């Protein structure tokens, strides 16, 4: 699908957070989303959207990852599930829907679009899982959301 630019409003989230090597993400993210979903259900809090994961690269090859759900209002930190936010501002959204295509190829489409259109990332991207993850897979309808700014803006 064609990349789309839109404005993203700041969004409160409920997440689990950890540091992992990138190869552990496919196993950790679905289980983290399941824990957050159970926490929200137990406390009578409705999610305000689809599950997501956001990675923050660390210098030693690890990534700090947070995974969970957007919520209508900030939650209390209970040690297992923490409050966080997704940032406000312009974003580039690119859909990954081809199960035979590697997710890295979809990220490459976003990078190519930004280079061609004169946009630069303004923070770490996140993935929104439109197929609800199960404990053994992430699904195939993944929206990559990258905060951006335009170089000549």
User: Exposure string (b/e) for 47-85, b if CB count within 10 Å is 16 or more?
Assistant: beebbbbbbeeeeeebbebbbbbbbeeebeeeeebbbbe
Question: What's residue 107's pLDDT?
Answer: 92
Using one digit for the tens of pLDDT, what is the confidence trace for 22-48?
999 988 999 999 999 999 999 999 999
Question: What's residue 97's pLDDT?
Answer: 83
Q: What is the mean pLDDT of residues 122-149?
A: 81
Q: What is the mean pLDDT of residues 60-85?
A: 95
Question: What's residue 103's pLDDT?
Answer: 83
Q: Residue 135 pairs with which residues in a beta bridge?
A: none
Judged against a pLDDT cut of 80, whether residue 125 lies above it is answered with yes
Domain that holds residue 68: 4-150
What percent of the chain stands above pLDDT 70?
92
The number of residues making up the chain comes to: 153
Question: What's residue 41's pLDDT?
Answer: 96
Judged against a pLDDT cut of 70, whether residue 10 lies above it is answered with yes
Of 30-44, 55-69, 104-118, 127-141, give the lowest mean pLDDT range. Answer: 127-141
CATH of the domain at 90: 3.20.80.10
pTM of the predicted protein model: 0.90
pLDDT confidence band for 100 (50 / 70 / 90): low
Judged against a pLDDT cut of 80, whether residue 105 lies above it is answered with yes
Question: What's residue 130's pLDDT?
Answer: 87
Domain tally, the chain: 1
């Amino acid at each position: 699908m064609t990349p789309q630019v839109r404005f993203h409003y700041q969004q409160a989230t409920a997440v689990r957070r950890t540091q992992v090597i990138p190869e552990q993400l496919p196993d950790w993210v679905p289980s983290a989303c399941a824990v957050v979903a159970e926490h929200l259900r137990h406390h009578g809090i409705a999610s305000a959207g689809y599950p997501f994961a956001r990675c923050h690269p660390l210098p030693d090859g690890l990534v700090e990852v947070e995974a969970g759900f957007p919520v209508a209002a900030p939650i209390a930190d209970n040690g297992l599930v923490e409050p966080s936010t997704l940032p406000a501002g312009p974003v580039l959204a690119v859909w990954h829907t081809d199960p035979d295509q590697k997710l890295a190829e979809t990220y490459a489409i976003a990078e190519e679009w930004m280079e061609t259109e004169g946009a630069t990332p303004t923070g770490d991207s996140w993935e929104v899982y439109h197929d609800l993850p199960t404990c053994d897979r992430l699904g195939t309808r993944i929206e990559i959301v990258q905060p951006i700014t335009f170089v000549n803006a």
